[in-house]
């Protein structure tokens, strides 16, 4: 299925959660100088127009990142300041954000000379846009193919460390099991890698199939961070989850503090929790 376009959802509360986790993971891993091979299995576009027809149709950014941006002076932690610095270039003349970076651009912001990014996107139009953007960046490679299969083909990487982001749309119900299966196979190829698996929390809780499959599988040391809207909509996502395999030491506390800082009704109107799905 190639109908999903993230432009309708860019900058929503789930993106805030996911990209906070991604940014934190990258920065913490870079405390060591050794090279990191970064992989983005469902990369989408490099950036999104928040003033465009698609974003305005859903209004999800207005209830997401556009709630966070006006409070930037109050978000004093280095972890939040790193995220906000990545958003600054998208500020419009009205003080709101006119554009929002997709995950490839978040990765690129932190790539060092020794790091690389391999991005996959199956959607033809999205893949073409992504490829055009990547053409100007020598450390970024784009493949228009299934990112789960592509990831397995590229593992283990030549670099000593690995960071993977996997965030399909889950429009296909089998994606939950396929993601869990791919994670298990990837982990067996590269057990020291840091893997971030994002998932939506929807009515009926289909994400439980993903969590059950991971908890029953071979992968160890899996952190689960979830946020839930205090006023859940009648349709669509009521929450967002991120599984983090091999999180850097202290990652759990720092991500929880980041999400707590934007959870109140003045901002995103969330409740958040963090726990170990699978211990070491």
Of the candidates 83, 162, 79, the residue with the CA atom closest to the CA atom of residue 118: 162
Whether residue 230 contacts residue 270, with contact meaning beta carbons closer than 8 Å, is answered with yes
* CB contact burial 244-280 (16+ within 10 A = b; e otherwise): bbbbbeebbebbeebbebbbeeebbbbebebeebbee
pLDDT of residue 127: 85
All structural domains of the chain with their residue ranges: 6-278
pLDDT of residue 10: 83
Fold of the 6-278 domain: Rossmann fold (3.40.50)
pLDDT of residue 86: 92
pLDDT of residue 2: 57
> Which residue in the list 15, 40, 115, 167 is annotated as catalytic?
167
pLDDT of the chain, 280 residues: tens digit per residue:
455 667 677 889 999 999 999 999 999 999 999 999 999 999 998 888 888 777 677 778 899 999 999 999 999 999 999 999 999 887 877 778 999 999 999 999 999 999 999 999 998 888 899 999 999 899 999 999 999 999 999 999 999 999 999 999 998 889 999 999 999 999 999 999 999 999 999 999 999 999 999 999 999 999 999 999 998 887 889 999 999 999 999 999 999 999 999 999 999 999 999 999 999 8
Q: Residue 93 CB: number of other CB atoms within 10 A? A: 6
User: Does the annotation mark 167 as catalytic?
Assistant: yes
């Amino acid at each position: 299925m190639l109908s999903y376009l993230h432009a309708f959802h860019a900058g929503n509360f789930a993106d805030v959660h996911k990209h906070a986790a991604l940014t934190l993971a990258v920065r913490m891993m870079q405390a060591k100088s050794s090279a990191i091979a970064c992989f983005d299995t469902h990369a989408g576009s490099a950036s999104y127009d928040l003033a465009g027809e698609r974003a305005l149709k859903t209004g999800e950014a207005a209830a997401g990142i556009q709630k966070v941006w006006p409070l930037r002076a109050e978000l004093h932690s280095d972890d939040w300041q790193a995220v906000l610095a990545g958003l600054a270039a998208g500020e419009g003349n009205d003080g709101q954000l006119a554009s929002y970076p997709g995950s490839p651009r978040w990765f690129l912001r932190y790539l060092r000379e020794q790091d690389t990014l391999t991005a996959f996107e199956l959607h033809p139009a999205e893949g073409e846009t992504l490829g055009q953007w990547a053409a100007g960046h020598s450390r970024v490679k784009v493949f228009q193919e299934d990112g789960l299969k592509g990831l397995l083909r590229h593992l283990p990487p030549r670099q000593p460390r690995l960071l993977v982001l996997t965030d399909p749309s889950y429009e296909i119900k089998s994606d939950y099991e396929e993601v869990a299966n791919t994670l298990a196979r990837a982990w067996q190829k590269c057990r020291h890698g840091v893997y971030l698996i994002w998932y939506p929390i929807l009515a009926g809780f289909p994400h439980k199939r993903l969590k059950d499959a991971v908890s029953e599988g071979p992968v160890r040391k899996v952190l689960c961070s979830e946020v839930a809207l205090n006023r859940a909509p009648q349709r669509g996502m009521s929450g967002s989850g991120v599984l983090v395999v091999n999180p850097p030491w202290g990652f759990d506390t720092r991500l929880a503090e980041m999400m707590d800082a934007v959870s109140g009704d003045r901002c995103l109107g969330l409740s958040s929790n963090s726990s170990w799905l699978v211990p070491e």
